[in-house]
Structures are given as structure tokens and as C-alpha cells.
Amino acid sequence: DAGVIQSPRHEVTEMGQEVTLRCKPISGHDYLFWYRQTMMRGLELLIYFNNNVPIDDSGMPEDRFSAKMPNASFSTLKIQPSEPRDSAVYFCASSLGLTGGRRNQPQHFGDGTRLSIL
Amino acid sequence: LAKTTQPISMDSYEGQEVNITCSHNNIATNDYITWYQQFPSQGPRFIIQGYKTKVTNEVASLFIPADRKSSTLSLPRVSLSDTAVYYCLVGETGGFKTIFGAGTRLFVKA
């Protein structure tokens, strides 16, 4: 079975441009997570979905960030307009439940999108 | 929310057993302990999870003392490919209780 698939793997764009990151979760997983990783802040959870519904987006840094999950097999994270401080590696993960919770399922991460805003 | 403390880095040699200890003094009764591994240019990968005593799988062992205020990830006979960052997480992860700290950078030398 394929793992979590993210695209693109690398994105370089100029400040002010719109950036769209894509994620295909593992089939059958009903949770989807977007993370951002930087040297300074480590791995931060931005938003997560359960059954395609955003549960909490309080980790999203600003209104410039938005995420959607139109169906169970696809999600996007959009930044508009992008800024140099948005440069980071963005990870998508999916799971059958919250690890450590009642269903006790681990998260499966994609290989990330390395985003550079010039 | 249980905070975790683990060493920033560790060095080892191929073939040795490596033990990484994580402190979580305020772990709650219902909290599980989960370890992830992250290689460069990849996302974190689930290694092992436990609640108490000892858990073993094909990759590692997890030792949890009776008071559950710490846990130790044990990697038997490490190889160069085990060089990675190892994260200890406590509690229900995936929601906004999830805290991936700085992790422990393990360097395995030949």
C-alpha cells in the first residue's frame, strides 16, 4: 500500500506568489495533519482534519494560510501571499486515529515539501 | 500536557546497543508513550509505543518503569543507517496535545 504522498517535493518561488501544497493520505485513514518544520521551531502542527472536516486550525500562523480537504483522498495547504519566513519543510500525515488515544494509531508521514520563498 | 525531556544528541558506534532516555515527570494516567524516528529529508516514522513495563518489536524495545516518569528506547546493535533524530511523545498525539520537541540526534559511527 502506498504511503502518504506529497507534491511537489521542492518548491522555490518569489515572495508574494501563491503556493499550493498537495497531499494524498493513506487510503482508509480518517485523520489528516499538516505540519511545518524549521530549525528554529521544530515540528509544529498547523491543522488537522477528521473525516474531511477541519477540527482545529489554531496552529495556522496567519490568515495567509488556508487548508482544505475536499474529499477523503486529497488535501491542500495554500499560502497566499507567500513570505520568506514561510520557508520550511511542510509535512502531511495521516492516521486511523489519534496516537495514544482510544484507537491508539500512529501517524504516517509523507516525505514533505521543501518550500523556499525568495 | 506532559512535557518531555531527552538528550539533545548522542554518539555511538556500529554494533553497539543504544539507549535513549526520555523524562516525563507529569505523565497522566491515560497517557501512552510514543517514539518516532526521522531521517534527513524524510518525515518522522513511528517506531514503538507503550504504556507500562516493556514493549518490543522488530526495530526497538521500550522500557517503562513502574512510576512511568521516564522511558528508555533501546536500539540493539545499531548500524550507520540508524543515524537519525528520535522523538519521544507523551499523551494523545495528533491533536493539539502533540508536541514534537527537539528530539535526540543519534550519530552512529563506523
Q: Rounded to a whole number, what is the distance in Å from the CA of A83 to chain B's nearest CA?
A: 22
- Contact between residue B12 and residue B110 where contact means Cβ atoms under 8 Å apart: no
pLDDT recorded at residue B90: 84
CA distances for B83 relative to A1, A70, A105, B25, angstroms = 26, 38, 25, 27
Residue B77 dihedral angles phi and psi, to the nearest 5°? 50, 70
Work out the pLDDT band at B41, boundaries 50, 70, 90: confident
Residue A84 dihedral angles phi and psi, to the nearest 5°? -55, -35
pLDDT at B92 over 80: no
Size of interface A-B (CB pairs under 8 A): 71
Q: Rounded to a whole number, what is the distance in Å from the CA of A16 to chain B's nearest CA?
A: 26
Contact (CB<8Å) B44/A43: yes
What one-character-per-residue DSSP string does B20-45 give? EEEE-TT--TT--EEEEEE-TTS--E
pLDDT recorded at residue A97: 74
Contact (CB<8Å) B43/A101: no
Contact (CB<8Å) A97/B34: no
3-state SS class at B80: helix
CA distances for B12 relative to B19, B56, B77, angstroms = 10, 21, 10
C-alpha span between A92 and A87 (Å, rounded)? 16
Output b/e per residue, B92-109; b: 16+ Cβ within 10 A: bbbbebbbbbebbebebe
pLDDT recorded at residue A99: 59
The mean predicted confidence, pLDDT, of chain A is 91
Interface test with A, best of B1, B98, B105 (most A CBs within 10 A): B98
Check residue A14 and report its DSSP letter: -
pLDDT recorded at residue A61: 85
- Contact between residue A109 and residue A6 where contact means Cβ atoms under 8 Å apart: no
Which pLDDT tens digit goes with each residue over A13-55? 999 999 999 999 999 999 999 999 998 888 888 999 999 999 8
pLDDT recorded at residue B18: 97
Work out the pLDDT band at A98, boundaries 50, 70, 90: low
The least confident of A23-32, A102-111, B35-44, B64-73 is A102-111
Nearest 5°: CA angle at B67, between B61 and B68?
A: 40
Query: Mean of the pLDDT values across residues A79-102?
Result: 86
pLDDT recorded at residue A40: 85
